[in-house]
Amino acid sequence: MQEVRHAIVVSVIVAEVLGLHYFFASSGFVTVVEREVTVTVLLFLDSIMTFIIFTSIIIDVAYYFSLAVAFSYIGIDVFSITYLSSFIAGISISSFIYFIVNRSFSDTLVTNARNFRPKFHLTTIAVSVGFWLAQFLLFRSPFLSLGSLVDVVLISLVGEIQLSPLSAASWLSLPYVLSQLGVVREDKGVCIGEILGVLRRTSFSRSRLNVKYSWQKVKAKYCLSFENAKNYNVVILGTSGSGKSHLAKKIIEKLDVSYLVFDVHGEYKFEKAKRLDASTISVNPLSLFGQSPRQRALEVAYMLKSVFNLGNLQTIDLYNLIFESYQEKGIYEDDQRSWSIQPPTFRDVVVLAERKKKFITSSAELNKITALEPYLNFVANNMFFSNSVNFEEIFGESYVIDFSSITIPEVKYIMVETFLRALLSYIYLGKTSNLKKVVILDEAPFVLSKESGEQLVERLFAEGRKFGLGFVVISQTTEYVKKLISNSAYVFVLNMVEPGDVEYVSRLIAGADQDVYKAIYENLRKLERGMIITRNILHDEIFLVHVSE
């Protein structure tokens, strides 16, 4: 889009120069007054046209120097007071009208380049200087040489070697080179799609339509750069069928690390990953996973409290039973050597509860155990006998754990949390700052809606980076993921229609700018499948991205 705008202005300037040349030549005799009036009017109109197209005083002024070079070829010096005043008048009138219409003013170039980061490359600098020297030796003009020098400085800041030849064009190429300060460029990293647009303030020509922000078309790949991110966590939000799973697949396919997918619906298929049907295995939630028996008893009791909505007193009674079960197996709090002993199962807890009932004389105490029995029996009779899987193998390689065949939500949840607890224990075995494992948690509210699950995932999110662990959390709603968003490197939003979710996400992406909020709010509900809106933290830009197929 930038190229088209500059092409339009350049074409007009060329047409003006040719037109003036033939007009003056064909008229035979043109008075000085006629000549000055014609050029004055043209410069006035040029300044207005350039401002309308770019909404930038800086670009407008840069084009004045381009006009100076172009008009010099037909013997017109535009640096006279008359011509300069005419151009300034055009800029002033255009800016004033823009301010009246929009009730504010911001230079588009300044806005677009506010987060510009210099990218110095010695090769780019050397080539640019070479073109500057060639231009100086060819024309020997201090004025043109100064323009080329300005180009060299700007091109060196941008760091794009393909722009280097423009330094030979001196002031003629200055407006275009200046506009490159606000161009979105590809980041190094894992590229997952194409940037279709960046949300920018609209030009003067569209402000009359009361459209304050719109998507400015760009051509660049969208890449994840975890090297510069605060962590390796990603949150993906979107309605059913919007392309959330496809985006998650694309991320882990591009990353050269092992991954673990918690597949709730059985929709993840990877050639390089092993697949595990969760309905064919058993896990033991009472495994210590590197914790002390007291700590693990607390964690399991809290998990069951979350699953069955137990009261606080019931949770304490459950904790005491579990802790005593560890002791029954010879696993003691103050003897770490005993922690390697085979842990109890919930069948052992049920047996212990039955045995305790025989010796209880108080009806109140008997009622406490009796009230817990349905929950203990439920867990004891459902796939929680022993660990039939090798956790180290699962966490060390790429695995998809398919939970779709488990139809009982409570069983599914206990199994997911047990895997997550085992994962937490596994990552503590070694520290690394490099990403080595990615975990995809699909339909995250299933876990996050439980207190124990929410705290566990928050802990993994917070501590994952120092252990090389990244999380991709997927949700159809924002209700349970709000606490995780603040600790995420990337938040990707696909199509959303629920008013509360659209409202929250729009304000999250837009920040305090009400006009940006309105633009995001309107676009979220219209996004096609595979289209995402995200805010790039490094560049502080809002992108519209199409995920690659």
Split at pLDDT 50, 70, 90, the class of 207 is: very low
Answer yes or no: pTM beyond 0.75.
yes
What's the full length of the chain, in residues? Answer: 549
Structure tokens at 399: 């695995």
Task: Read off the tokens for 529.
Answer: 């499948």
Identify the DSSP state of 473.
E
Q: Which residues contact 385 (CB under 8 A, 6 or more apart)?
A: 282, 284, 345, 347
Among candidate residues 252, 285, 475, the one with its CA nearest the CA of residue 376: 285
pLDDT digits (tens, 9 = 90+) for 282-326: 999 999 998 999 999 999 999 999 999 999 999 999 999 999 999
Lowest-pLDDT choice from 56-60, 204-208, 295-299, 488-492: 204-208
Per cent of the chain over pLDDT 70 is: 94
Q: What is the pLDDT of residues 379-417, one digit of tens each?
A: 998 878 788 889 989 999 999 999 999 999 999 999 999
pLDDT at 348 over 50: yes
- What does DSSP say about strands 234-237 and 490-493: parallel, antiparallel, or unpaired? parallel
Is-contact 542 237, C-beta < 8 A?
Answer: no
**Measured distance CA(457)–CA(392) in Å, rounded:** 20
Most confident residue range from 198-202, 365-369, 469-473: 469-473
* pLDDT of the residue at 209: 45
> What pLDDT sits at residue 23?
76
Of 308-322, 360-374, 509-523, give the range with the top mean pLDDT: 308-322
Assigned token pair, 284: 């033991």
Scanning 268-345, the segments in alpha helix (DSSP H) are 293-308, 312-328
Can you tell me the mean pLDDT for 121-144? Answer: 89
Report the amino acid identity of residue 242: S
Q: Which two tokens stand for residue 314?
A: 């019931």
How sure is the predictor about 54, in pLDDT bands with cuts at 50, 70 and 90? confident
Query: In b/e form, how buried is each residue of 50-69, taking b as 16+ CB within 10 angstroms?
Result: bbbbbbbbbbbbbbbbbbbb
For residue 205, what pLDDT is reported?
A: 43
* pLDDT (tens digit per residue) in 157-193: 888 888 899 999 899 999 999 888 866 665 567 889 9
480 pLDDT exceeds 80?
yes
pLDDT above 70 (res 538): no
Question: Which helix (H) or strand (E) segment is 67 a member of?
Answer: helix 57-72
| pLDDT value of residue 471 | 94
> How far is it, in rounded angstroms, from Cα 180 to Cα 155?
9
What confidence score (pLDDT) does residue 206 get? 46
pLDDT, mean of residues 130-151: 90
Taking alpha carbons only, the member of 261, 263, 267, 279 closest to residue 402 is 263
Angle value at C-alpha 461, between 279 and 468, nearest 5 degrees: 90
DSSP 8-state assignment for residue 203: P
pLDDT value for 186: 56
pLDDT of 116? 72
73 burial via Cβ count (<10 Å: 0-12, 13-18, 19+): exposed
What's the DSSP call for residue 343? Answer: P
Rounded to whole angstroms, the Cα distance separating 392 from 390 reads 6
Amino acid identity for residue 139 in this structure: F
The confidence band for 228, taking pLDDT boundaries of 50, 70 and 90, is confident
Per-residue pLDDT, averaged over 103-118, amounts to 72
Sign, CA torsion 402/404/405/406: positive
Q: Any idea which residue has 């699909």 for tokens? A: 442
Q: What's the pLDDT score for residue 451?
A: 94
Q: Would you say 284 and 345 are in contact if contact means Cβ atoms under 8 Å apart? A: yes
| Residue 189 Rama label (left phi>0; alpha psi -120 to 50; beta) | left
